[in-house]
A and B are shown apart, each in its own frame.
Chain A
Amino acid sequence: MMLASFGAATLASYLVVSGILLVIGVVGFLVRRNLIVMFLCTELMFQGAAIAFVAAGRYYLDYSGQVMVIFILTVAAAEAALALALVVFMHRQRDTLDPDAYGELAE
């Protein structure tokens, strides 16, 4: 299999960055009390995953990784449109963006 080199930076460095982004996203999603920020955290997780894909694609000289990223961007864009619209509506309903205020939707 043909493998490319990243110069000084190795594949591991990219994956570490990707992992850090994912963890920041996860932690942010779990601790923040604002729906918009939580939403932004999911975007962070997306980007973490995307970096891992690009890095792996480059490492294996395979375009599938980049194709995947294009997909992720598309999905993220669609999701952003939908989620922001939802957030706006929810804010109109309750005048707050605290996720706990919407707990009764579980019933």
Chain B
Amino acid sequence: MISIMQSIIATPAGQIDQLVDIVAPTWAQFILWMPLISLVLCGLCAALKVKTKAPAIITVISLATSFVLTLMLYFGYEGAEVIHIFEWIHVHWNGGSFISDFALYIDKLTLLWMLFVTGLGTLIAVYASEYMEHDVGKGYARFFAGVSVFLFAMSCLVMGDNLLMLYLGWEGVGFASYWLIGYFYQRPAAVAAAKKAFIVNRIGDLGLALAIYLIWSTFGTIQYDGISTALAAHNNDAATFSAFGGWTVHAIPYLLMLAAFGKSAQLPLYVWLPDAMEGPTPVSALIHAATMVTAGVYLIARTYPLFQLDDYALPIVAWVGGLTALFAATIGMAQYDIKRIMAYSTVSQLGYMFLGLGVLSSYGAAYHVFTHAFFKAVLFLTCGAIMHGFAGQLDLRKLSGLRKMRGWKIVSYTMLVGCLCLAGFPFTSGYFSKDAILAEAFVTQGSGFEILGWLAIFTAGLTAYYTFRVWFRVCCGPEYYEPGDELHGDDPSSFHPHPPRVAINFVLIAIASGAIIAALPYFMDNETKGINGGWVAEMVHDSPARGGVPNAVVAVVDGEHATAHEGVANAVVDQDHATHGSILGMDPHKAMYYISGVVGMIGLGFAFFFHLARRKAADSLRNKLLASRFTRWLPIAMENKWYVDEFYIAVIRTPLWILGKLFALIDRGIIDGLLVNGIAGTPRAIAKWFSPLHNGAVQSYAVSMIGGAALVILLMMFMPEIMSFLQSTMIGATP
């Protein structure tokens, strides 16, 4: 295990040397600046109280420009390069320096992320232009300003050339997320959700800040190039690794992990994401499903070599990811709010991505991020369209048969596409990306990875079930609806659902097509010889995360295990670990197609039975479970989200609240009361003795004045006597 870990820290030294030769395309910086320009213009719109859709048009145009620039960057790509924008922080001192330029680091991992971030960002902004139209002239500009801030911060995070830029973006997306979750600031729930998201994320951000500090103190740089060089210098040498920086190299991956778990909503910090659904739906789709929450995956992929410095770091990532996937799926099964189900499914799918990273399949993780971005975006956007059309109704018990209603066909069928992908239905994009992760769990030998693999397969079944529970309930069956509570003054009895118009339908079709097409990269040829996994694998291979790409570089050393990994192949010395794991005696890469397909179909079948064929059976099953004393805890706990929020409130919030009250008492009683007011009160108390002198009678003033003068004169007259008297007593006292 140890030697595998160490040997796959493969850093292509040649890649760094090339960097200098390439003429950097400096126009790429406008990928960053366009959203910032849009922010300024949206701010102007807000200041000038523009009553049109101008903010949406501005944002869409600038984000589309970013996307086109990203495409140009992708097609002109010739190798990893650094694009210097300006000097940001340069501190030099005797024998050391701290350098952090405002520069972009463009490799294929960056491009992979930027392609879907800017692409989906543009489409979702188009969607939001219609979705948010009830707020034109009020919060419209504020909303699009928030989206622009988010895109700027996310681009910083992904494209930055050093960890400080990543941190800037990291905090920036957190801020944008706070801004947009709390968009409906008149609703207390939205404000509470925004605060919760921000505060829970701070825990992760602390980890990132400490990790960056430790990385700098260990490697002397925070630039990705510098870290790679430092690692390459110590490559393949177990002795130097342990001596390298002492405990810090072991602490760094755990701190980075904390950051990633916070931002990407993993156990135990996942609680903010379901609540974040209080924000407008385009925000949920863009920030809390497709892009921002994958920042944690990006962080680990980007710093993958650092995670391999500690033996337990990646297995822990795998376990946390796998358990989160299962845990969130069980909650998602029992919720009734469709947007909340999607939120838990996001947590669950993010868990898969971390599982992929943990079992040395950064390729699978990146591919799942890529496909998930599309199908989860489309699922959220359809939920948003339903919410928009049915006055905020999201309860799947109160909506049915949407498929047959006028104007809801596009929503229903794009939702079906999203559901198929999420459920891992054979030959959809989600099927291939999830299989890549599931298979790796069996291929890579590690602490309990096989158990984790089976758990993940079971979770895949649950995923199919809860996904199709939504679709069968909402889109199939008899036509029926109840409007939600956001009627805007309309009478509930005369309510008519208003189906989405051009912009929303266009975006739904575009992203659903994207979700279908996202299966293609799996079959695309790639230029780098010897990698399985098509286009995405190639994108990941050209980055620090290449340690998790199947079959890369020297795979043929061991002919028996053609599918073994680069790292395993490098570590041929260690024959035990070169063996390729198997599932039920078969090759996981091939067997997984059948296994996950079958499990997915079983889940789908259950959903079909309980939520379409015999809807009453679902209720009677629930009642049966509730009736028995031994099983009643299951539905109750699942519907109440396993009481995790309540647990946190009891264990963390209440003690802190009590502590806060205690400190408030100390502050008011001792600091304010005794010290501040006490000191201020002393002169007043003394003044009380003398204040009767100030009585307004001129002659009494004259008396005190003359008395004072007389006293002074007397003192002066008898000074010699007083002095001698004092001296005599002093001498008498000290013989």
Verify that A and B bind, or say they do not.
Answer: yes
Nearest chain B CB to A52 CB, angstrom units: 14
B-contacting 9-mer, from A57-65, A73-81, A97-105: A97-105
Task: Give the distance in Å from the alpha carbon of A30 to the alpha carbon of B704 in the complex.
Answer: 11
**Does B575 interact with chain A (Cβ within 8 Å)?**
no
Pick from A26, A104, A106: contact of B706, CB under 8 Å? A26
What is the predominant secondary structure among interface residues of chain A facing chain B?
helix
**A106 engages B699 (CB within 8 Å):** no
**A100 engages B697 (CB within 8 Å):** yes
Q: Which residues of A contact B698 (CB under 8 A)?
A: 38, 99, 102
Pick from A29, A38, A103, A107: contact of B697, CB under 8 Å? A103
**B694 engages A106 (CB within 8 Å):** yes
Q: Which residues of B contact A100 (CB under 8 A)?
A: 697
**B702 engages A107 (CB within 8 Å):** no
What per-residue 1/0 map shows which CB atoms of B661-697 lie under 8 Å from chain A?
Answer: 0000000000000000000000000000000001111
Pick from B696, B699, B706: contact of A107, CB under 8 Å? B696
Task: Give the distance in Å from the alpha carbon of A30 to the alpha carbon of B703 in the complex.
Answer: 7
Task: Give the distance in Å from the alpha carbon of A29 to the alpha carbon of B702 in the complex.
Answer: 8
**A106 engages B696 (CB within 8 Å):** yes
CB closest chain-A residue, reference B706: A26
**B699 engages A30 (CB within 8 Å):** yes
What per-residue 1/0 map shows which CB atoms of A19-49 lie under 8 Å from chain B?
Answer: 0000000100110000000100000000000
Q: Which residues of A contact B706 (CB under 8 A)?
A: 26, 30
Task: Give the distance in Å from the alpha carbon of A30 to the alpha carbon of B706 in the complex.
Answer: 10
CB closest chain-B residue, reference A106: B696
Q: Which residues of A contact B696 (CB under 8 A)?
A: 102-107
Q: B697, B698, B706: which has the most chain A beta carbons within 10 Å?
A: B698
| Total residue contacts A-B, CB cutoff 8 A | 25
Nearest chain A CB to B711 CB, angstrom units: 15
Pick from B694, B697, B703: contact of A99, CB under 8 Å? B697
Q: What size tier do the contact residues of chain B reach?
A: under 10
Task: Give the distance in Å from the alpha carbon of A26 to the alpha carbon of B698 in the complex.
Answer: 13
Nearest chain A CB to B710 CB, angstrom units: 10
Interface residues of B in 631-646 (CB under 8 A from A): none
Task: Give the distance in Å from the alpha carbon of A76 to the alpha carbon of B110 in the complex.
Answer: 92
**A30 engages B702 (CB within 8 Å):** yes
What per-residue 1/0 map shows which CB atoms of A83-107 lie under 8 Å from chain B?
Answer: 0000000000000000110111111
Q: Which residues of A contact B703 (CB under 8 A)?
A: 30
Q: Which residues of B contact A106 (CB under 8 A)?
A: 694-696
Q: Which residues of B contact A105 (CB under 8 A)?
A: 696
Nearest chain A CB to B127 CB, angstrom units: 71
Q: Which residues of B contact A99 (CB under 8 A)?
A: 697-699
Task: Give the distance in Å from the alpha carbon of A38 to the alpha carbon of B701 in the complex.
Answer: 13
**A103 engages B695 (CB within 8 Å):** yes
Q: Which residues of A contact B694 (CB under 8 A)?
A: 106
Task: Give the distance in Å from the alpha carbon of A95 to the alpha carbon of B598 in the complex.
Answer: 112
Q: Which residues of B contact A29 (CB under 8 A)?
A: 699, 702
Nearest chain B CB to A26 CB, angstrom units: 6
Q: Which residues of A contact B695 (CB under 8 A)?
A: 103, 106
Nearest chain A CB to B696 CB, angstrom units: 3
CB closest chain-B residue, reference A107: B696
Nearest chain A CB to B717 CB, angstrom units: 14
Task: Give the distance in Å from the alpha carbon of A38 to the alpha carbon of B698 in the complex.
Answer: 10
Task: Give the distance in Å from the alpha carbon of A107 to the alpha carbon of B697 in the complex.
Answer: 11
Q: Which residues of A contact B697 (CB under 8 A)?
A: 99-100, 103
Task: Give the distance in Å from the alpha carbon of A104 to the alpha carbon of B697 in the complex.
Answer: 9
Task: Give the distance in Å from the alpha carbon of A6 to the alpha carbon of B702 in the complex.
Answer: 35
Task: Give the distance in Å from the alpha carbon of A92 to the alpha carbon of B695 in the complex.
Answer: 24
Task: Give the distance in Å from the alpha carbon of A107 to the alpha carbon of B694 in the complex.
Answer: 9
Task: Give the distance in Å from the alpha carbon of A63 to the alpha carbon of B706 in the complex.
Answer: 29
Task: Give the distance in Å from the alpha carbon of A107 to the alpha carbon of B696 in the complex.
Answer: 8
Q: Which residues of A contact B702 (CB under 8 A)?
A: 26, 29-30
CB closest chain-A residue, reference B695: A106
Task: Give the distance in Å from the alpha carbon of A99 to the alpha carbon of B702 in the complex.
Answer: 12
Q: Which residues of B contact A104 (CB under 8 A)?
A: 696
Task: Give the distance in Å from the alpha carbon of A102 to the alpha carbon of B701 in the complex.
Answer: 13
Task: Give the distance in Å from the alpha carbon of A67 to the alpha carbon of B670 in the complex.
Answer: 61
Task: Give the distance in Å from the alpha carbon of A28 to the alpha carbon of B25 in the complex.
Answer: 100
Interface residues of B in 244-259 (CB under 8 A from A): none
Task: Give the distance in Å from the alpha carbon of A106 to the alpha carbon of B695 in the complex.
Answer: 7
Task: Give the distance in Å from the alpha carbon of A107 to the alpha carbon of B702 in the complex.
Answer: 18
CB closest chain-B residue, reference A100: B697
Task: Give the distance in Å from the alpha carbon of A99 to the alpha carbon of B696 in the complex.
Answer: 9
Task: Give the distance in Å from the alpha carbon of A26 to the alpha carbon of B710 in the complex.
Answer: 12
Nearest chain B CB to A60 CB, angstrom units: 20
Nearest chain B CB to A86 CB, angstrom units: 12
Nearest chain A CB to B345 CB, angstrom units: 75
Nearest chain B CB to A58 CB, angstrom units: 23
What per-residue 1/0 map shows which CB atoms of B573-607 lie under 8 Å from chain A?
Answer: 00000000000000000000000000000000000
Nearest chain B CB to A39 CB, angstrom units: 11
CB closest chain-A residue, reference B694: A106
The 5 closest A-B pairs by CB, nearest first: A106-B696, A103-B696, A99-B698, A30-B699, A103-B697
Known: A26-B706, A38-B698. 7 other contacts (CB 8 A): A30-B703, A30-B706, A102-B698, A103-B696, A104-B696, A105-B696, A107-B696
Chain A to chain B contacts (Cβ below 8 Å), 14 pairs: A26-B702, A26-B706, A29-B702, A30-B702, A30-B703, A30-B706, A38-B699, A99-B697, A99-B698, A100-B697, A102-B698, A103-B696, A105-B696, A107-B696
